[in-house]
Structure 1
Amino acid sequence: MSRLPERMKAVVCHGPEDYRVEEVATPKAGKEEVVIKVEACGICGSDVKAYYGSKMYWGGDDPWLKPPVIPGHEFYGVVAELGEGAAEKFDLKIGDRVTADQINPCGKCKFCETGNYYMCEVHNIYGFQKDVAEGGMAEYMKFSKTSKIHKISESLSHEEASIIEPMACAIHTVQRATIEFEDVVVMAGAGPLGLCMIQLIALKTPKKLVVLDTDENRLALSKKLGADICINPLKENAVKLVKDLTDGYGCDVYIEATGSPVGVTQGLEMIRKLGRFVEFSVFGQDVTTDWSVIGDRKELDVRGSHLGPYTYPIAIDLFERKLVTAEGIVTDSYKLEDFAEAFKRAESIESIKVLLTP
């Protein structure tokens, strides 16, 4: 018999800018399911865009965000209830610290069956689809039997455990860049994800790591986390500086994580011929550029990066070995009741990673 309360507090999305704290039924663990008591849930840039009505989430006849739904896909917590067979399937016990991949894969489509679960055709992401994938902005949340669940060691701090999801996504992005020792790498954007990527790129020891951002405080933090050169494109000619650094050729690798269209066009200009352009951002508006740069003029290798497949254990291991840090990245924490203020803070350049804690 469940020891969990019948009702819990949760942030519930009903539509753009229509989020409310409500008393809802506490999830119950069915066969091979796991319920956790949420310790923290980060507010992602995509959460902010969804909150303010981005057409990516709300547009078309079949919008991706399906309310009413509890948002939040950057979560960790403690195992509170195990359904039949869940302890054996996931090697878990009550009280274990855990997180899970942000995707709740179907386990049946061609992508899931070939190991590419992160590209699941159904593609339910925790925090976006009602019933099948409720998120972490609540006192409790449920993982399905197809979830990818990961134990978190006690050596990780609260802040480190809170940003496992962004770090996992950052690892996949850096993996996609296939950075070599002789590469000059440009990291565009020093937000939460960019700051995670900077640490990971530094571990790859490229020839030079250049970071671009328009906020001086974030550039200063980038330097502490491993950047060799920091450039504010509002104050300096970033394209010229990068080309001067590379004998006029341009950077070998450009990773775009600004979320701004200019981050794309700027990158296409400063990257060398035959360079590797990795696109990570989720954009709130359309991006227009001259595609002939990609093909006829430079023959670029353009790669996308989506979620954090198979990288959560790597993120946890890197935190355990103190090779990456959350210091300076987690800046704010709010209670569920103060979610509106938290979302405003997350949108502000003065914050980096904002957490909600039940």
Structure 2
Amino acid sequence: MAKTVKTMKALVVYEKGKYVLEENYPVPELKRGEVLIKVEACGVCASDIKNWHGAEGYWGDGTSEPWVKTPFIPGHEFVGEVVEVSEGYEGDVKIGDRVTGEQIVPCGECMFCQTGKYWMCDKADIFGFREHVNGAMAEYMVLPAKTRIYQIPKDLELEKAVLIEPYSCAKHAVDRADISNTDVVVLSGVGTLGLAMVNYARLRNPKTLVAIDMMDDRLEIAKRFGADIVLNPAKCNIEEEIKSLTKGYGCDIYIEATGHPSSVQQGLDSIRKLGRFIEFSVFGQKVSVDWSVIGDGKELDILGSHLGPYCFDVVTEWIADDTIYTDGVVTHSFSLDQWQDAFEQNAKGEGSLKVIIKP
């Protein structure tokens, strides 16, 4: 199909702190094997906000090279319709299909890709932070040849479809935790992804599932999504509460999903010896802890969680049939013209969970 649209509205990041809404930004010409989609909606991720705020992990500390490569279009939690497929495309999607995709575009050639662990690709591109893999805060988005694209039902409500990417990341984190029915599980942080983790963890049938957050409205949703107990650190001593539930030992599993350094220390204090600590969050700054607690003190298993590999298909099914809950998770919708309002609402967090932008 020949491209009929030459320009588009797009949010473009030119440098740290310089976000510009362009009215006539060029729609990229497709290279061999690529797909063009018309973006239906894009979720605002915590990583988008940290990037907007100029976090060192993205922009460097002034002495190191930035991780981001400008100019770029942010946004990686996307849903869209295929409007053009270039020559040489080898996948299954066609014009008119409704799709989403993984944030990572793996090389397919490194050791990790060759052993099926593509989400840790050494040479990967990441949508929404690099010039040549622009994100979805625009009217159109190019999916490179090696994008992992997934078809989704055309009748799936937008507020559900836009959650497939973040919910896939949440499922991977819970899978990493390897929860059993004898475990006391503590999940710190019940924003969009934390709430999905609560729901997935409940499917694992833990002995007790505890959700922690500073916002009581989110804790109420966590109860509805499957938490047995909810705790607000502003109103109680978390370590004391967890140990009182576990005969003084501490929880078996602690999943950190806040992105705040205090939650890391809280977890190390609250977990039992030989416990399992899952770190999911992306932090805006370096986190310092006493590592002797991890080794000599408690001999903990420390596991990370990155993206949502091999989760998209089943997550789409579970969202569609309500095996996992989505009601009330998308709280705010903005146009692309209102991108700054969307970012500010997400950053504030009060009264909101998932904020989406509809280009």
The TM-score, its normalising length taken from structure 2, stands at 0.97
Instruction: Give the match for residue 116 of structure 2.
Output: 115
- Residues 266-289 of structure 1 show CA distances to partners (whole Å, capped at 9, x for unaligned) of 000110111100000111122111
User: What is the identity, as a one-letter code, of the residue corresponding to 2:209?
Assistant: L
Cα distance in 2 for partners of 1:355, 1:17 equals: 21
Deviates more, 1:309-318 or 1:164-173: 309-318
Instruction: Give the match for residue 225 of structure 2.
Output: 225
SS at match of 2:297: coil
Cα distance in 1 for partners of 2:331, 2:321 equals: 22
Deviates more, 1:301-310 or 1:117-126: 117-126
Deviates more, 1:252-261 or 1:115-124: 115-124
What is the Cα deviation at residue 331 of structure 1? 0.7
Cα distance in 1 for partners of 2:33, 2:83 equals: 14
- Residues 216-253 of structure 1 show CA distances to partners (whole Å, capped at 9, x for unaligned) of 10111111111100000110111111111111111010
Query: Does the 8 Å contact 1:155/1:320 carry over to 2?
Result: no
SS at match of 1:294: helix
Query: Does the 8 Å contact 1:111/1:121 carry over to 2?
Result: yes
Instruction: Give the match for residue 106 of structure 1.
Output: 107
Alignment map for 1:198-277 (pairs within 5 Å): 198-277=198-277
Query: Does the 8 Å contact 1:191/1:218 carry over to 2?
Result: yes
Percent of paired sites with the same residue:
50
Answering whether residue 53 of structure 2 is matched by residue 52 of structure 1, we say yes
Name structure 2 gaps, 5 residues minimum. none
Instruction: Give the match for residue 94 of structure 2.
Output: 93
User: What is the identity, as a one-letter code, of the residue corresponding to 1:67?
Assistant: T
The TM-score, its normalising length taken from structure 1, stands at 0.97
Cα distance in 2 for partners of 1:199, 1:154 equals: 25
Cα distance in 1 for partners of 2:353, 2:4 equals: 34
- Residues 124-152 of structure 1 show CA distances to partners (whole Å, capped at 9, x for unaligned) of 11011102x11000101011111111010
User: What is the identity, as a one-letter code, of the residue corresponding to 1:42?
Assistant: G
The total of aligned residue pairs comes to 355
Deviates more, 1:146-155 or 1:218-227: 146-155
User: What is the identity, as a one-letter code, of the residue corresponding to 1:191?
Assistant: G
SS at match of 1:94: coil
SS at match of 1:326: coil
Answering whether residue 83 of structure 2 is matched by residue 80 of structure 1, we say yes
Query: Does the 8 Å contact 1:73/1:136 carry over to 2?
Result: yes
Cα distance in 2 for partners of 1:159, 1:182 equals: 34
- Residues 154-183 of structure 1 show CA distances to partners (whole Å, capped at 9, x for unaligned) of 342101111111100001100000000111
Deviates more, 1:253-262 or 1:14-23: 14-23
Cα distance in 2 for partners of 1:71, 1:4 equals: 24
SS at match of 1:30: coil
Query: Does the 8 Å contact 1:28/1:35 carry over to 2?
Result: no
Query: Does the 8 Å contact 1:4/1:26 carry over to 2?
Result: no
